[in-house]
Structure 1
Amino acid sequence: MTRRYWNINLKEMIEAGVHFGHEACDLVFDAASQGKSFLIVGTKKRAADLVASAAIRSRCHYVNKKWFSGMLTNWSITKTRLSQFRDLRAEEKMGKFHHLPKRDAAILKRKLSTLQRYLGGIKYMTRLPDIVIVLDQQKEYIALRECAILGIPTISLVDTNCDPDLANISIPANDDTMTSIRLILNKLVFAISEGRSLYIRNR
């Protein structure tokens, strides 16, 4: 990539050796120690499993398939969908689908499968998150904009073609390599887990 395509501010930040990983870890640790909630957003196909496992490990909410426009800014609609999702899950577990005509049961199963795919990572989210972690600024631009509108603090990995000012804390990283994403995400969720442990001990 030639210089003219680079975001100059970010390039200068990288060349100067300025790293915001520690600042981000301090932020999430402090927030977790106060019982705050987190949402991790990373919808790149190859990062989907990593996002899910890291979020589950640190008891965070996550979106790893597709970000639906208005997921946060139209929270009342999202809450309604989540309520429908939870109701369908409960009905399936109780075996209610077995008492329905095959066609109706098949329709509900497909609907449940779709909801699980796209909302499974936020099924326990009852309110807006306190902090949102974004793994790819360009791909998750809508999520970042929604957070900005709502005043939700954000942490974002930013590559050389990104704008570091779009997030509250931007971490310079190559968001195209799994090694880079895994390293930073693991550090963040470790800090969250440590903060949660402190919160539990102090309750």
Structure 2
Amino acid sequence: MTEKTATIKERAKTLDTPKELQEFLEAGVHFGHQKSEVHPGMFPFIFGVRNNVHIIDVARTKERLDTVLDFIKTLNAEGRTILFVGTKFPIREVTRKTAEATGMPHVTEYWAGGTLTNWKNIQERIEHLKDLESKKKSDEWQKYTKHERLQMEREMAKLEKKLGGIKDMTKRPDAMFVVDAAEDVLAITEARQLGIPIMAIVDTNINPASVDYPIPANDDAISSVKLILKKVEEALIKSKGSAPAKNEINEIMDKKTAKDSNLKPLAPASHGRGPDRSVMTKI
């Protein structure tokens, strides 16, 4: 952490900001990318500029995150499956831990092309992996030569790395949560082709329209990612097995669509909806 960043975070602790937003500032959720890297679609979520870096409006972050959490609770209460995707090296571990803690599948090492769009083939590879694992645990394993066992162990390790997080997934997921939308574009593309709802953390260099449920936030700082995934994990654990209201998912989708309509047409921040300065103070 640079001295400048550390100073900004220390100042955030003393700002007259609502308590529910303070944690976002302290985690660095508000730090975006350089001005030159901004995607026009993110202007409605940008509070301003500091040192040539866009500052995300954390009030909008909380608003969008709350919508995502409502959707997640409903999905989980109905026993739906959410696939967590986070293949960028710094976020792999926290993504995997969140998925495992909530009993959800995950892809954190490598997104194999066709994971969703060619699901039948992926299922065949998963069955092959399970068959190899079964062989290793049985007496049949000793019938193979040392060289054959070594080859199968290498193949198992390779398949486990690629498919281990989804080997218990019996069908395509009902929704997907992408931790870094820039890194896992292929996963988003496949989900969109199949109409699978996508939730994702989107930094200021990402087109928020590329996903169904964008969460405007810093996707580079591990503290920012951890905070958001912590809230997602809590929502999943608390909602497990609870009974959702009838048609609740459709109601949430309608609310999301209504909010999105306020973002179009895309325009520079100075021409569109400005940030709520009653809950954001200068950083």
What TM-score do you get using the length of structure 2 for normalisation? 0.68
SS at match of 1:111: helix
Distance 2:215 2:74 in 1: 18
Q: Choose from 6, 9, 14 the match for 2:46.
A: 14
CA distance in 2, matches of 1:184, 1:162: 17
Equivalence for 1:127: 171
Question: 2:195 matched to 1:189?
Answer: no
Quick check: 2:38–2:205 contact (8 Å CA) kept in 1? yes
Whether the aligned pair in 1 keeps the contact of 2:69 and 2:235 (CA below 8 Å) is: yes
Counterparts of 1:48 and 1:92, CA distance in 2: 28
The residue type equivalent to 2:45 in the other structure is: M
Matched, 1:166 2:210: yes
Distance 1:178 1:91 in 2: 40
**SS of structure 2 residue aligned to 1:128:** coil
Q: Distance in 2 between matches of 1:153 and 1:110?
A: 35
Give the counterpart letter for 2:135 in structure 1.
Answer: E
Equivalent positions of 1:1-203 (< 5 A) are 2-15=34-47, 17-19=59-61, 20-198=64-242
Q: In terms of Rg, which structure is larger? A: 2
Bigger mean CA offset, 69-78 vs 88-97: 88-97
Distance 1:139 1:166 in 2: 13
Q: How far off its partner does 1:12 sit? A: 2.6
Amino acid in the other structure paired with 1:5: E
Query: 2:77 & 2:84 partners in 1: Cα distance?
Result: 18
Q: C-alpha deviations, 1:4-38, integer Å up to 9, x for none?
A: 42123313313253221000000000110011011
Q: Please report how far the alpha carbon of residue 78 of structure 1 lies from its aligned counterpart in structure 2 after TM superposition.
A: 0.5
Q: Could you tell me which amino acid in structure 2 is paired with residue 187 of structure 1?
A: K
1:2 is displaced (CA, Å) by 4.5
In structure 2, the gaps of 5 or more residues are 1-32, 48-56, 244-283
Query: How many angstroms does 1:47 deviate by?
Result: 1.5
- What runs of 5+ residues in structure 1 fail to find an aligned partner? none
SS of equivalent residue, structure 2 residue 115 = coil
Q: How many aligned residue pairs are there?
A: 199
Return the offset for 1:95.
4.4
SS at match of 1:157: strand
Confirm or deny: 8 A CA contact 2:77 2:241 kept in the other structure: yes
Matched AA of 2:73 = F
Q: Distance in 2 between matches of 1:93 and 1:182?
A: 37
TM-score, length-scaled by structure 1? 0.93
For 2:180 and 2:97, the matched residues in 1 are separated by 17
More helix by share: 1
Distance 1:65 1:115 in 2: 11
Question: What amino acid maps onto 2:60 in structure 1?
Answer: V
Which amino acid counterpart does residue 158 of structure 2 have in structure 1? Answer: T
Q: Percent same amino acid at aligned positions? A: 29
The 1-side partners of 2:139 and 2:46 are apart by 56
Residue type matched to 2:106 in 1?
Y
Give 3-state SS (helix, strand or coil) of 2:236's partner: helix
Which whole-Å CA distance do the structure 2 matches of 1:144 and 1:167 have between them? 7
